[in-house]
């Protein structure tokens, strides 16, 4: 509960100081996530997004999640998906996106499907540079996740755009 409280306070503090920037065509991001279904609960996330329509805030994107499954031996469930992210609202000057993707999931020789969705904010860090802080709240469902079902993922990505 302390983690979620800290995350909420961080998000609100940064959102208050957010600045506007020009729409971006390409966005690259990477960061860490907390996933209760992972063991250990720290996971990694990376993404690339390309603007499809500046007027509506629609992006095509690819996302990669690496979620640990066991500590000894150390195994990782890798999930790669492609999808669409749609801007659904703006809080102050911070756009909120709903991303949904589907793709492949694998762990060793076990291969299957995955899909995920959730919400992310795009908080500008600088007016002159296109750097962003992206808090995310998502879920992930994989057919090779060892029966863990839907995994909630809370993360913080650092992004840069062109």
Q: What percentage of the chain carries pLDDT values higher than 70?
A: 83
Residue 48 has pLDDT above 50, yes or no: yes
ω into 40 cis (within 30 of 0): yes
Residue 97 has pLDDT above 50, yes or no: yes
Rounded to whole angstroms, the Cα distance separating 17 from 120 reads 17
Which distant-in-sequence residues (6+ apart) come within 8 Å of 147 by Cβ?
none
Name 33's bridge partners.
Answer: 43, 155
Element (H, E) at 15: helix 2-16
What's the pLDDT score for residue 70? 79
Q: What percentage of the chain carries pLDDT values higher than 90?
A: 54
pLDDT digits (tens, 9 = 90+) for 98-151: 999 999 999 888 899 999 999 999 999 987 779 999 999 999 998 886 656 788
What's the pLDDT score for residue 89? 96
What's the pLDDT score for residue 125? 92
pTM comes to 0.80
What's the pLDDT score for residue 148? 61
């Amino acid at each position: 509960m302390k983690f979620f409280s800290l995350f909420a306070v961080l998000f609100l503090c940064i959102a208050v100081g957010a600045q506007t920037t020009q729409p971006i065509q390409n966005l690259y991001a990477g960061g860490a996530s907390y996933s209760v279904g992972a063991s250990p609960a720290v996971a990694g996330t990376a993404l690339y997004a390309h603007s499809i329509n500046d007027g509506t805030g629609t992006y095509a994107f690819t996302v990669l999640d690496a979620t640990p499954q066991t500590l000894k031996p150390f195994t990782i469930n890798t999930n790669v998906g492609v999808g669409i992210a749609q801007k659904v609202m703006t809080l102050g000057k911070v756009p909120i996106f709903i991303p949904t993707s589907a793709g492949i999931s694998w762990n060793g020789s076990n291969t299957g499907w995955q899909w995920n969705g959730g919400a992310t904010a795009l908080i500008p860090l600088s007016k002159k540079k296109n750097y962003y802080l992206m808090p995310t709240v998502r879920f992930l469902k994989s057919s090779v996740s060892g029966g863990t079902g839907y995994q909630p993922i809370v993360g913080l990505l650092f992004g840069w755009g062109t």
